[in-house]
Amino acid sequence: MNRAFNSGSVDSLVESIVAFNPSADRDWLVSFDAYDLARYLQHLECALEPRESASPWERIGDTPAIVSRTAA
């Protein structure tokens, strides 16, 4: 897994994510590492752009395209 994606401290990434998604729970976000937060922030930034072939968001490939969870 390529951890070179890390681009900032957890606190700064959480602040940037909350700026895009004010309903995001800071306490929950800080439970993730900087790599995952940076990937999520990139996804949010790409989601603001019009969907076209020139600006797609590409799943890196270290996670499955479809994920499901069973409630505890």
Give tens-digit pLDDT for 20-69: 899 999 999 999 999 999 989 988 887 777 666 665 656 666 766 676 77
Parse the chain into domains and list their residue ranges. Answer: 3-47
Residue 3's nearest CA partner among 35, 28, 41 is 35
More confident residue, 16 or 53: 16
Exposed, middle or buried: residue 32 (CB in 10 Å: 0-12, 13-18, 19+)?
Answer: middle
